[in-house]
Amino acid sequence: MANGRYDIYFQIVPENQFTGSKFFSWGQQRTLGVRGIQKLVNLFVKYLMTPIGSDPLDTTYGTDLPHLIGSNISIDDAKDILLLAVDKTAKAIQGFQISSDVPDDERLATATVTDFIAIPEAPGFAAQIFIDNVADQGLTFLLPTLTPRA
């Protein structure tokens, strides 16, 4: 059950508007308040896509995943970095949710990379990540677009 607190639904910046300095925006569509599983996905994506060391108040916050943008590492190495980043994000969120009053529909149970799609001609990749909360609700989103999948 949700506790009434909302988060702002942020959206990925469209490829044709990406300037290289930001990944997210308050949206090209009307700003929405979200809670429940979507609020959990927001929290997960924010942690996953924050470059580690970029938060001056917590230099351990974030992952190495954003450092892949513009890099020249192999697709296999990129997959390993993605898997490690998803695992680190899940453990971090579970760690700080343990001491918080978080409703079950916003509490992380598991996060799993369900599909890794190599795009050699780019070169790059896309990935489907499934987020499951303690209330047994799940949502799959697609990186890099954050499009939810049923």
* Confidence at residue 146, expressed as pLDDT on a 0 to 100 scale: 60
41, part of any domain: yes
- The rounded distance, in Å, linking the Cα atoms of 121 and 112 is 26
Closest of 88, 95, 8 to residue 51, by C-alpha: 88
Return the closest-CA partner of residue 68 out of 122, 134, 108, 148: 122
Tell me if 118 is assigned to some domain.
yes
Report yes or no on 1 lying in a domain.
no
Residue 130 within any structural domain of the chain: yes
Longest Cα pair distance anywhere in the chain, in angstroms?
46
Range of the domain at 14: 7-149
Number of structural domains (the chain) is: 1
pLDDT recorded at residue 134: 96
Q: What is the pLDDT along the chain (150 residues), one digit of tens a residue?
A: 445 565 555 555 555 655 554 455 445 555 566 778 888 988 999 899 899 999 899 999 999 998 888 788 888 999 999 999 999 999 999 999 998 899 999 999 999 999 999 888 877 888 999 999 999 999 998 887 665 554
For residue 26, what pLDDT is reported? 47
Q: Distance between the two ends of the chain, CA-based, in angstroms?
A: 21
Asked if residue 81 belongs to a domain, the reply is yes
Residue 22 lies inside a defined structural domain of this protein: yes
Neighbours of 3 (CB within 10 A): 11
Residue 90 in any domain: the answer is yes
pLDDT (0 to 100) of residue 119: 85
Residue 2: what pLDDT? 43
CATH label of the domain that carries residue 140 = 3.10.450.40
Is 46 part of any domain? yes
